[in-house]
Structure 1
Amino acid sequence: MRGPAAVLFDMDGTLIDSEKVWDVSLADLAASLGGALTPETRAAMIGSNMDRTMVLMFDDLGLAHDRSAMDEGCRFLTKRTEELFHEGLPWRPGAADLLAAVKAAGVPTALVTSTERALTEVALDTIGRDFFDVTICGDEVDGRNKPLPDPYLKAARLLGVEPADCVAVEDSPTGSASAAAAGCTVLVVPCDVDVPIGPGMVLRETLVGVDVAALGALLG
């Protein structure tokens, strides 16, 4: 049985239960704009980058796409989320143990997140930077964010491996589609929304009990 050439991890909802934090900061932004997010729009934001989140927010609230107002919304959301990140981020079940096992086995790793670099750096204070050989953030792929394959293709390229030899670990429809489109085998562990399982995806309830051998088995 071959092991993965690399393991590519999503962050929000996959390693840390940060979607609950985003619930608060997004609700606060919507309130500051004079409205409230519908549950459907909030669900659609999971796994999205900042620009798409602003479009969804303004559409849901019936607001014009004023660039200045949307930029101010980004600043508000980043600042509020950073405040909440500093208060602490809980691990998703099994995530810390899996990271440690992959690190101990010497398998290359990447963090592939739609969250922007500034907030990712705050989250890494909890997760640990040493677990990752490379990190790809939502503002580092020239606007070609998840669900496009570019973030995962970039991670594989920087690690010097083929996407088809990698296992990606994801929780959202957007992220899972991105990893699958890049050619990775995707271990899908849903957090807050159901994920349609397509070719190259394997569903699991939690990461508890997952080790490097189990990841290798996914590659067949």
Structure 2
Amino acid sequence: MLFDMDGTLVDSEKVWEIALHELAARAGGTLSPAARQAMIGSSMAASMQILRDDLGQPDRPEAPDVEWLTDRVLELFGAGLVWRPGALELLHAVRFAGLRTALVTSTGRKLVEVALETLGRDNFDVVVCGDEVALPKPDPEPYRTAAALLGVAVEDCVAIEDSPTGVASALASGATVLAVPAELELPPTDGVHLRTSLVGVDPAYLADLLVHRGLLQPEG
């Protein structure tokens, strides 16, 4: 089992939203809705490029913004994260069934370590962070790396995602993809199983997805 974090397991995209708007204000501008949407599921480097383009500040130094944003999100993460509907129950059920799990996120290790205080370190056999791969999502490397570290073929894994960027990464990796949109609408896509929430999803449901790799109509 391969789990995305932000927007999939926990409702942390709202935390990022607060910090990103604050960062834009510190830079003397306002983050547009379109730019914010484009950042969802993206790496830190990609998000900072979007920010600079949106603010019309192409020469703005990246490192100070990354440091400030990381510290601010770290502070907000430390206040606790809210689980997405059905996510905690599914994670517990998967672990109870003895399935190996990986957390596969675009978020950097420093922030993930804080998030794991909510998620539970023992719930994951492997954690792959955005700053630990050469090519982040939407490239398939994060999911292929996670499967390799678990010692399983990625084609035998189900990846759960919420964003177009994450879905593209998981689909390209060869995993079976279960998509549960959070902040962005996800259109029906060949090879992607689409649900409105993780409520009611259990290990038997996931096993059935592996047996029937193909397009499912939205349900749940």
Shorter-normalised TM range: over 0.9
Q: 2:77 aligns with which of 82, 85, 92?
A: 85
- Counterpart residue number, 1:209: 200
Q: 2:91 aligns with which of 99, 116, 119?
A: 99
- Counterpart residue number, 1:23: 17
Query: Could you list the per-position Cα deviations for residues 51-71 of structure 1 after superposition, in whole angstroms to 9, with x for gaps in the alignment?
Result: 0010000000000234xx211
Tell whether 2:28 aligns with 1:34: yes
Tell whether 2:153 aligns with 1:162: yes
The one-letter code sitting in structure 2 at the alignment partner of 1:211 is D
TM-score, reference length from structure 2: 0.94
Q: Secondary structure at the match of 2:63?
A: helix
Tell whether 2:51 aligns with 1:57: yes
Q: Secondary structure at the match of 1:20?
A: helix
Q: What does 1:189-208 correspond to in 2, within 5 Å? A: 189-208=180-199
- Counterpart residue number, 1:136: 128
In the TM superposition, residue 17 of structure 1 has moved relative to its aligned partner by 0.2
Query: Could you list the per-position Cα deviations for residues 68-93 of structure 1 after superposition, in whole angstroms to 9, with x for gaps in the alignment?
Result: x2110000100000111111110000
Distance in 2, Cα, partners of 1:178 & 1:196: 16
The one-letter code sitting in structure 1 at the alignment partner of 2:39 is M
Q: Which runs of 5 or more structure 2 residues have no equivalent in the other structure?
A: 213-220
Tell whether 2:179 aligns with 1:185: no
Distance in 1, Cα, partners of 2:172 & 2:189: 11
Q: RCO (CA 8 Å, sep 6+): is it higher in 1 or 2? A: 1
- Counterpart residue number, 2:163: 172
Percentage of matched positions with identical amino acids:
58
Q: Secondary structure at the match of 2:132?
A: coil
In the TM superposition, residue 199 of structure 1 has moved relative to its aligned partner by 2.4
TM-score, reference length from structure 1: 0.94
Query: Could you list the per-position Cα deviations for residues 11-42 of structure 1 after superposition, in whole angstroms to 9, with x for gaps in the alignment?
Result: 00000000000010000100000101110110
Tell whether 2:118 aligns with 1:126: yes
Q: Secondary structure at the match of 1:202?
A: strand
In the TM superposition, residue 146 of structure 1 has moved relative to its aligned partner by 0.2
Indicate conservation of the 8 Å contact 1:138/1:145, yes or no. Answer: yes
Distance in 1, Cα, partners of 2:80 & 2:127: 21
Indicate conservation of the 8 Å contact 1:184/1:200, yes or no. Answer: no
Kindly tell me the number of residue pairs found equivalent between the two proteins: 211
Distance in 1, Cα, partners of 2:148 & 2:8: 22
Q: Secondary structure at the match of 1:139?
A: helix
Please list every run of at least 4 consecutive aligned residues from structure 1 whose deviation after the TM superposition is greater than 3 angstroms. Answer: none
In the TM superposition, residue 196 of structure 1 has moved relative to its aligned partner by 3.2
Q: Secondary structure at the match of 1:41?
A: helix
- Counterpart residue number, 1:116: 108
Q: Secondary structure at the match of 2:17?
A: helix
- Counterpart residue number, 1:4: none
In the TM superposition, residue 192 of structure 1 has moved relative to its aligned partner by 0.4
Distance in 1, Cα, partners of 2:89 & 2:180: 15
The one-letter code sitting in structure 2 at the alignment partner of 1:80 is R
In the TM superposition, residue 200 of structure 1 has moved relative to its aligned partner by 1.8
The one-letter code sitting in structure 2 at the alignment partner of 1:170 is E
Q: Which runs of 5 or more structure 1 residues have no equivalent in the other structure?
A: 1-6
